[in-house]
């Protein structure tokens, strides 16, 4: 069983020793928990893939503290300073040209690297003490829902890692937005997430946010394997509906089927059936994103035979929620 440690100075010292010895630590970030290892160590990064059961052609994100540390792993793009001023530290990952110091295993042999500067104070305390860039994918077994609490990490990876750093529930709740800056013509969103495309456009002008769904291509690094059709999936079959539930539909759910609504539904009688669940009371997409993965986990554990999920309003964070629900249902868009 992994030990869940708070961020006392003695614990941070212990975790730094582990990281410098190429061992892995479950770490909190503002998006989801990550499974961190020394990004400059081939061995540590191999251990990350093995612990997650992740194919080696699905590259890792490198987490750094500031632009100075970023320069050790990636080559600055002109637009990066503006983006960094606006969104870092925060839930945005950018794809840049890599430097030679980054082991091939991190980038799956690509000549680009994904980099992010997280804001979570507990993560930062550990990273400052370690002084090294940290490679960290989400701390879930490959293909399952990302973890937003230390207990989620423990329950799924507890037998494969020694330590988890406690940082409380994640404030954003879904993964970072991934922005590809390597094409000089037009930046492109590879994964919608914690920062909306509109906000990025106000800083750097037009971006391509028509997320493409990439088919898995054995033996070849894919563009952003997070875009694989089936990802973020619960074990219980999930069906993503095109339309929101009407009150009558909620009252006539088939046996064993749970309804996942975006917001608390209003019913004629004022009663909501026990099989009806929702992400937010009052329609706040930020709250809905924060709760999405933990609600999916609860529904997965509740013994339903299927989950029917309705779409969130398709803008801002709602778009990232719908992206995750579509992938949980096992089909891209
Ligand atoms: O919020 C997050 O981004 C979390 C926290 C822990 O930082 N991390 C996370 O990592 O979601 P992961 O490994 O679950 O997803 C990273 C995605 C993968 O889909 C991967 O394929 C893509 O980033 N990626 C990594 N390097 C890439 C590259 N050089 N080019 C294109 N996509 C890349
Ligand atoms: Mg992931």
What is the pTM for the complete model shown? 0.94
**Please, which pLDDT band fits residue 216 given cuts at 50, 70 and 90?**
very low
**Is pLDDT of 31 > 90?**
yes
Pocket of ligand 1 (CB under 6 A): 29, 31-32, 34, 58-61, 93, 95, 107, 110, 112-114, 116, 136-138, 175-176, 178, 190, 223-226
Contact assessment for residue 271 and residue 255, using Cβ atoms and an 8 Å cutoff: no
Place of tokens 């509109």: 198
C-beta separation of 187 from 181 below 8 A: yes
Least trusted range by pLDDT, from 27-31, 104-108, 147-151, 268-272: 268-272
Q: Give the ligand at the shortest distance from the Cα of 74.
A: 1
pLDDT band per the 50, 70, 90 thresholds, residue 223: low
- In the three-class reduction of DSSP (H, G, I as helix; E, B as strand; rest coil), residue 315 is classed as coil
Please tell me the number of the ligand nearest to residue 177's CA. Answer: 1
Buried b (16+ CB within 10 A) or exposed e, 182-216: beeeebbbbbbbbbbbeebeeebeebebebeebee
Query: Tens digit of pLDDT for each residue in 265-300?
Result: 986 666 788 999 999 999 999 999 999 999 999 999
Which DSSP string corresponds to 141-203? Answer: -TTBPPP-SHHHHHHHHTTT-SEEE---S-SS-SPPEEEE---SS--EEEE--SS-HHHHHHH
Average pLDDT along the chain: 91
Q: What is the Cα–Cα distance from 36 to 161, expressed in whole angstroms? A: 10
Choosing among 3.40.1350.10, 1.10.150.450, 3.40.50.720, 3.40.50.11030, the CATH entry for 238-331 is 3.40.50.11030
Alpha-carbon distance of 231 to 215, in angstroms, equals 12
User: If you ran DSSP here, which 8-state letter would residue 307 be given?
Assistant: E
17 alpha carbon to ligand 2 midpoint, in Å? 26
Distance 137 CA to ligand 1 centre (A): 6
In this prediction, residue 7 has a pLDDT band, given cuts at 50, 70 and 90, of very high
Comparison of pLDDT for 267 and 17, the residue scoring more: 17
Region for 76 from its dihedrals, namely left if φ exceeds 0, alpha if ψ lies in -120 to 50, beta otherwise? beta
Alpha-carbon distance of 140 to 253, in angstroms, equals: 31
Q: How confident is the model at residue 221 (pLDDT cuts 50, 70, 90)?
A: very low
Instruction: Classify the C-alpha dihedral 181-182-185-188 as positive or negative.
Output: negative
pLDDT in the model for residue 87: 98
- Give the distance (Å) from ligand 1 centre to CA of residue 24: 17
CATH number, domain 3-204: 3.90.870.10
Provide the residue ranges of all domains of the chain, joining segments of one domain with +: 3-204, 238-331
Q: How far is the CA of 54 from the centre of ligand 2 (A)?
A: 10
């Amino acid at each position: 069983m992994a030990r869940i440690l708070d961020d006392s100075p003695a614990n941070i010292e212990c975790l730094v020793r582990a990281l410098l010895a190429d061992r892995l630590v479950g770490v909190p970030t503002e998006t989801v928990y990550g499974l961190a290892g020394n990004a400059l160590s081939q061995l540590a990064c191999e251990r990350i893939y093995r612990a997650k059961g992740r194919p080696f052609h699905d590259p890792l994100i490198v987490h750094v503290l500031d632009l100075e540390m970023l320069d050790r792993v990636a080559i600055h793009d002109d637009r990066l300073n503006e983006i960094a001023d606006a969104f870092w530290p925060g839930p945005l990952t950018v794809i840049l040209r890599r430097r030679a110091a980054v082991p091939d295993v991190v980038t799956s042999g690509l000549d680009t690297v994904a980099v992010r500067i997280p804001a979570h104070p507990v993560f930062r305390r550990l990273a400052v003490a370690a002084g090294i860039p940290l490679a960290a994918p989400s701390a879930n077994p490959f293909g399952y829902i990302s973890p937003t609490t230390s207990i989620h990490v423990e329950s799924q990876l507890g037998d494969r890692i020694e330590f988890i750093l406690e940082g409380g529930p994640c404030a954003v709740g879904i993964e970072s937005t991934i922005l590809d800056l390597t094409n000089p013509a037009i930046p492109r969103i590879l994964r919608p997430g914690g920062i909306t495309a509109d906000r990025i456009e106000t800083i750097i002008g037009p971006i391509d946010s028509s997320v493409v769904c990439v088919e898995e291509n054995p033996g070849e690094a894919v563009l952003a394997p997070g875009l694989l059709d089936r990802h973020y999936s619960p074990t219980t079959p999930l069906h993503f509906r095109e339309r929101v539930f009407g009150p009558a539909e909620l009252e006539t759910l088939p046996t064993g089927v749970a309804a996942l609504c975006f917001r608390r539904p209003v019913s004629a009688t004022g009663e909501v059936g026990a099989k009806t669940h929702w992400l937010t009371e009052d329609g706040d997409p930020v709250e809905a994103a924060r709760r999405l993965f933990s609600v999916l986990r609860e529904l997965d554990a509740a013994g339903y035979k299927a989950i029917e999920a309705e779409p969130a309003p398709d803008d801002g964070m709602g778009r990232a929620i719908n992206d995750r629900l579509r992938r949980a249902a096992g089909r891209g868009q």
